[in-house]
Amino acid sequence: MLSVKAFVFNPVQENTYVLSDQKDACCIIDPGCYFGNERTALKEYIEQQGLSPKILLNTHCHLDHVFGNKFVHETWDLTLHLHEKEAPVLANAPERGLMWGMPFENYRGELIFLTPGQSVTIGEHQLSILFLPGHSPGSVGFYSAKQGFLIGGDVLFRGSIGRTDLPGGDHATLLNSIRTQLWPLPDETVVYPGHGEPTTIGWEKKHNPFLNGRP
């Protein structure tokens, strides 16, 4: 069974996730650690749990989700995995950081592109890659059918959806991603979003005002 550990990092209050199996393998998703104490917290957790990071994943590459990519790469020698359409977003992140008053050093290593419909492996566990554009052009989610959860980035929040006024965003595309890729998931599927508290697919179908309460 995979355990899901969430950290809330940086001034934008972004959720960074560490997924680990019952042995020692783990993955790090959207490391948003901006300040030194946040990087220390992530590193200490992994060391104290006796974990061995195997893969670095980005759901998308807006600056608040990539602040810690370079740190993770240099600390555990991990190569960044992301959707191909997010590469320009990643390259532009430092410029956006300056605009927001949050300068940072970007990841400059190799990029490994994720293919929707395939999966990533953590120990003996697999996460399916769902293509969820709209908030960002190459947003993806990581879905465990076996355990019934989704690491969804900034696509779907409790009672809300991702913003679409940033470069590459598109409101109609985001709604289509949710309805075609997320609504078919079981209602009890837990969604771990990029900001805020977890929710479920069933709750959002009934109550999310941006989706009119309809599947």
Angle, CA 210 vertex, CA 209 and CA 211 arms, to 5°: 90
Helix axes 36-48, 69-76, angle to 10 degrees: 40
pLDDT of residue 213: 52
Count of CB atoms within 10 A of residue 215's CB?
15
- CB contact at 8 A, 179 and 161: no
From 90-99, 106-115, 206-215, the region with the lowest mean pLDDT = 206-215
- Work out the pLDDT band at 212, boundaries 50, 70, 90: confident
Domain harbouring 32, CATH code: 3.60.15.10
Torsion of CA 59, 62, 65, 67, to 10 degrees: 140
pLDDT tens-digit profile of 78-93? Answer: 999 999 999 999 999 9
What is the 3-state secondary structure of 103-136?
CCCCCCCCEEECCCCCEEEECCEEEEEEECCCCC
pLDDT digits over 180-208, tens only? 999 999 999 999 999 999 999 999 999 99
Q: Taking the chain, what is the end-to-end CA distance rounded to the nearest angstrom?
A: 30
Residue 191 structure tokens = 């969604």
Angle at the Cα of 59 from the Cα atoms of 208 and 43, rounded to 5 degrees: 115
Helix, strand, coil shares of the chain, percent, nearest 5, are: 30, 30, 40
Instruction: Give per-residue pLDDT as tens, 17-64.
Output: 999 998 899 999 999 999 999 999 999 999 999 999 999 999 999 999
Structural domains of the chain, count: 1
Residues in the chain: 215
Residue 7 has pLDDT above 70, yes or no: yes
Instruction: Kindly tell me if the per-residue pLDDT of 215 is higher than 50.
Output: no
Range of the domain at 98: 3-211
At residue 80, what are phi and psi to the nearest 5 degrees? -75, 130
